[in-house]
Homo-oligomer: A and B are copies of this chain.
Amino acid sequence: MANIYSSKNIVLFLVASPILNLLFIINLYASGNWNLSWTFQAATEAEAVAAISCSGHGRAYLDGLVLDGKEPLCECNSCYAGSDCSVFIPGCSANADGGNPLFLEPFWVQHAASSALLIAGWHRMSYTFNDHTFISQELERLIRKLHAVVGNAVTDKRFIVFGAGSTQVISAAVHALSPDNASSPARVLASIPYYPLYKIQTELFESVNFKFQGDTSQWKNSSDTGANMIEFVTSPNNPDGQLNKAVLHGPHAKAIYDRAYYWPHFTPIPAPADEDVMIFTLSKLTGHAGSRFGWAVIKDESVFDRMTKHIGVNSIGVSRDSQLRALKLLKVVLEGEGREIFEFGHQTMKIRWENLVKGLSSSNRFSLQKIEPQYCTFFHEVRESSPAYAWLKCEREEEKDCYAVLKAANVIGHEGGVFGAEDRYLRLSMIGSQDDFDLLIDRLTKLVSVEAGARIM
């Protein structure tokens, strides 16, 4: 419809006076409307939804519920309610559970124009790209460029495979590193505290070729050299942010390095990682957990082939829509050599960590992990870590259930036991929305002040 009107304008334009011409030239150029036709409706819809006000405590989405038949509802951040999310729910628990990386959402709102994506109805309908792979060459090229710019991974002469988030890539890696028809299943191991998915996934899939066997410590000096071992190394570690290294070595030990958090938001980058299998995810880089896009950088071609086959058989590769979106987002990330997003991410995480440390400084009841500062080759200076999670310890002998202690203070964390550690530990997310973090600090400060009060009495 829009372009029909435009042609009308052109006609008017021809018969009009010089001043009229000038005004139309300005207007047509400005609106770009002579080349906007079939995209106009989608663009208008998106702007209409973005214009719905949710008081800064929520958001309306294009696929949100439409109850009144008019426009999508506001979806409120936790602890906010009302049709425009303006009502704070008193006594609501601070949500520091989970790993939703919403701390980056404001960055994307600030970069609305460059990060918007318009997908045509006929975009990439085929199962494969023109080169018969499931992988966008342009996206792969951009990922290699990103690692070079950030300096966090070696990708020259390495293979890259995509998956539906690091989650799917992880299962493909375990499969690829587990020999078929071995005398016994490969032992899947991780050092406590470890990211629970490794255990959950390996146990749920119950393969004849691999079996989760818990902590690495019991196998460090194992004389049983015959059995294959697959060690998960999360670096920086989830939950405690340490730059871990593999502890198992020898001919039968293989490592999967989960590098999800190895970005300047969370940690100094001492040097480019160069392990045999390294896994990354868009989720902790751009904050788009919902897009389900991750990748692995792999040295060995046969491992790459086995992972590619596994992801092919699992889901016929990764959604082309997600790949296109990842491409668009990474183009924004790479603007100005990544300075903007990593400055934003690091600054946000640094301030949050400093606030948390300050809030707990006077406490003898709670302690936090210590992470050594290091030289960051991206920022070219020594930097403190600004971890994605706080690994809180309840120090009082009798307080063995740290989850319960914080729950009583209206803070929901993630139990240490889930990470293979004692329940005296608790993981608190630092990467959520600003609303979540502000409430967390507020609750923790109250908790610590009670402790101080108790000491004074």
Which residue numbers of A lie inside 8 Å of B, CB to CB?
1-2, 4-6, 8-9, 12, 16, 20, 23-24, 26-33, 35-51, 59, 61-66, 75-76, 98-102, 104-105, 108-109, 111-128, 130, 136-139, 163-165, 167-168, 171, 175, 180, 197, 200-201, 204-209, 283, 287-293, 309-310, 313-325, 327-329, 332
Contact B313 A315 (CB under 8 A): no
Given the interface contacts A26-B5, A31-B5, A319-B322, does A206 sit within 8 Å of B204 by beta carbon? no
A231 to B62, CA, bound (A): 39
A99 to B26, CA, bound (A): 49
A112 to B124, CA, bound (A): 14
Contact B121 A119 (CB under 8 A): no
Contact B125 A101 (CB under 8 A): yes
A35 to B310, CA, bound (A): 46
Residues of B within 8 A of A1 (CB): 30
Given the interface contacts A2-B32, A130-B75, does A121 sit within 8 Å of B332 by beta carbon? yes
Given the interface contacts A104-B125, A123-B62, A201-B313, does A5 sit within 8 Å of B27 by beta carbon? yes
How many copies of this kind of chain does the complex include?
A: 2
Contact B47 A30 (CB under 8 A): no
Residues of B within 8 A of A59 (CB): 122
Contact A30 B2 (CB under 8 A): yes
Determine how close the nearest CB of chain B comes to the CB of A102; give it in whole angstroms: 6
A49 to B208, CA, bound (A): 48
Contact B113 A41 (CB under 8 A): yes
Residue of B nearest to A6 (CB): B30
Given the interface contacts A127-B100, A204-B313, does A118 sit within 8 Å of B118 by beta carbon? yes
